[in-house]
């Protein structure tokens, strides 16, 4: 016996993939990560080759739900005028986490060197640039998402957190930041 198809209610649709991909530009017919979803997308939407359809399925644990009709302007979606942001791209999100981790690791590693050595300067400088660059990227992207969202104040929480972290670190480590940027 075969397993139940997720498209049973819509037999004219192909089965959604287990691992959807980013839609090409311009989109072709098929299932793709939902470009209208705010934040990291756990929804895939069907494109008929001409337009995005209302047919979508969402991730429920490790599996995908049955196909449902979910208009692009429905709850949790930003509408057809919204463009995907950097946090919806899994590769960019991975690069952001890696930059944050490597930058923090280099900052911790720099303490193993003599503070007056060239090794310390370069490891510390690299760590500061990577870490603050990743934090600045997250701040800008959060502002873009919050400004385009229809949910209001709920999306400004991450912005406040990133701005607070970025400002706090820069204020506390002002001399090191200027040194890392070759301004001191």
Pairwise CA distance, residues 145 & 98, whole Å: 21
pLDDT digits (tens, 9 = 90+) for 75-116: 444 444 444 555 555 567 777 888 888 988 998 898 899 888
Q: Band of the pLDDT at 29, cuts 50, 70, 90?
A: very high
Predicted TM-score (pTM) of the model is: 0.50
pLDDT recorded at residue 154: 56
pLDDT recorded at residue 164: 85
Residues 171 and 116 reside in one and the same domain: yes
**pLDDT at position 140 over 60:** yes
**pLDDT at position 74 over 90:** no
Domain boundary among 63, 82, 101: 82
**Taking residues 155-162, what's their average pLDDT?**
75
Q: Band of the pLDDT at 73, cuts 50, 70, 90?
A: low
Structural domain range at position 114? 86-180
Residues 91 and 176 reside in one and the same domain: yes
**pLDDT at position 23 over 50:** yes
Per-chain mean pLDDT for the chain: 76
**Taking residues 58-85, what's their average pLDDT?**
64
Residues 165 and 132 reside in one and the same domain: yes
Pairwise CA distance, residues 84 & 36, whole Å: 7
Residues 100 and 44 reside in one and the same domain: no
Residues 95 and 120 reside in one and the same domain: yes
In which element (H, E) is residue 46 found? strand 43-47
Domain boundary among 82, 97, 116: 82
> 157-172 and 118-148 helices cross at what angle (nearest 10)?
160
Q: Provide the pairing of β-strand 52-60 with 63-64.
A: antiparallel
Residues 24 and 99 reside in one and the same domain: no
Domain boundary among 39, 60, 82: 82
Residues 125 and 154 reside in one and the same domain: yes
Range scoring the smallest mean pLDDT among 60-64, 122-126, 134-138, 146-150: 146-150
pLDDT recorded at residue 20: 83
Q: How many structural domains are present in the chain?
A: 2
């Amino acid at each position: 016996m075969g397993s139940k198809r997720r498209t049973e209610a819509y037999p004219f649709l192909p089965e959604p993939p287990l691992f959807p991909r980013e839609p090409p530009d311009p989109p072709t017919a098929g299932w793709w990560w939902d470009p209208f979803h705010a934040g990291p997308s756990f929804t895939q939407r069907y494109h008929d080759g001409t337009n995005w359809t209302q047919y979508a399925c969402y991730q429920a644990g490790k599996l995908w739900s049955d196909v449902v009709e979910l208009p692009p302007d429905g709850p949790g979606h930003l509408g057809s005028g919204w463009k995907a942001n950097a946090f919806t791209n899994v590769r960019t999100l991975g690069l952001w986490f890696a930059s944050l981790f490597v930058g923090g690791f280099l900052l911790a590693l720099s303490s193993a060197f003599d503070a007056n050595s060239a090794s310390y300067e370069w490891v510390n400088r690299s760590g500061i640039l990577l870490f603050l660059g990743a934090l600045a990227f997250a701040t800008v992207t959060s502002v873009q998402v919050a400004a385009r969202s229809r949910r209001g104040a709920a999306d400004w929480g991450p912005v406040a957190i990133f701005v607070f972290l970025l400002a706090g670190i820069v204020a506390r480590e002002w001399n090191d930041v200027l040194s890392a940027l070759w301004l001191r």
